[in-house]
Amino acid sequence: MKIHLFGASASGVTTLGHALAKKLHIPYFDSDQYFWLPSEVPFALKRNPEERNQLIRTALTTHEHWIFGGSSVSWGDDVFPEFDLIVFLWIPPEIRLKRLKERELERYGTAIYDDPDRNIRYREFIEWAAQYDIDPNESGFTGRSLKVHEDWIKSLNREVLEIRGDFSVEERLERIMKYL
């Protein structure tokens, strides 16, 4: 079983990925582990795409069953083997952004407000994440967006389990288990 979970930042991909991995007794791999280099300032240095792709290919090919979480629509078609199940998660932006702000506060504490550099990174990240649900044709935004994800889903020419709405982890797990 090769499962791919993806959605916007703070849509619940990582939480669901860990819960599903525990339930199915298979490993979970998160895109952030491969996209970002370890650094003193987390999520600041992007890994070289060739190195990133080789690392994830190596990690996944050492397991027969796995879950990969995160947006990887621009990583190239040769990175991943055929997925058995693809799950797209979407939650209303006001809920997602509230979760994101809470997560950042939990990760970094009041430094997101008190430290000038951390505050700039925090505000830029929240602004970036807030663009997800806005049509790029209107905003000019070129990053990860709902439209990019929906276009990728259409390009797959296969069924994708879409879970749209503010559901609990248990409700999401139930939907996936019924699908499997």
Amino acid in the structure at residue 103: R
Q: Given this model, what pLDDT does residue 9 score?
A: 95
Q: Given this model, what pLDDT does residue 80 score?
A: 74
Whichever domain contains 82, its CATH number is 3.40.50.300
Predicted TM-score (pTM) of this structure: 0.91
Q: What are phi and psi of 164, to 5 degrees?
A: -110, 125
Q: Given this model, what pLDDT does residue 139 score?
A: 78
Q: Given this model, what pLDDT does residue 108 score?
A: 95
Which has the closest alpha carbon to 147: 179, 26, 139?
Answer: 139
With a cut of 70, list the residues of the chain below it in pLDDT: 81
Q: In which domain, by residue range, is 149 found? A: 2-93+144-179
Q: How far is it, in rounded angstroms, from Cα 180 to Cα 175? A: 9
CB under 8 Å to 51, separation ≥6 — which residues? none
Q: What are phi and psi of 85, to 5 degrees?
A: -150, 135
The number of domains in the chain is 1
The reply to whether 162 falls in a domain is yes
Q: Given this model, what pLDDT does residue 138 score?
A: 81
Q: Given this model, what pLDDT does residue 40 score?
A: 85
The reply to whether 116 falls in a domain is no
The reply to whether 127 falls in a domain is no
Q: Given this model, what pLDDT does residue 57 score?
A: 92
The 3-state DSSP class for residue 111 equals helix
What pairs with residue 164 in β-bridges? 90
C-beta of residue 28 within 8 angstroms of C-beta of residue 20: yes
The reply to whether 77 falls in a domain is yes
Q: How far is it, in rounded angstroms, from Cα 46 to Cα 62? A: 24
Task: Give residue-wise pLDDT tens across range 80-102.
Answer: 768 999 999 999 999 999 999 99
Q: Structure tokens of 165?
A: 């709405």
The reply to whether 148 falls in a domain is yes
What one-character DSSP code corresponds to residue 36? B
The reply to whether 126 falls in a domain is no
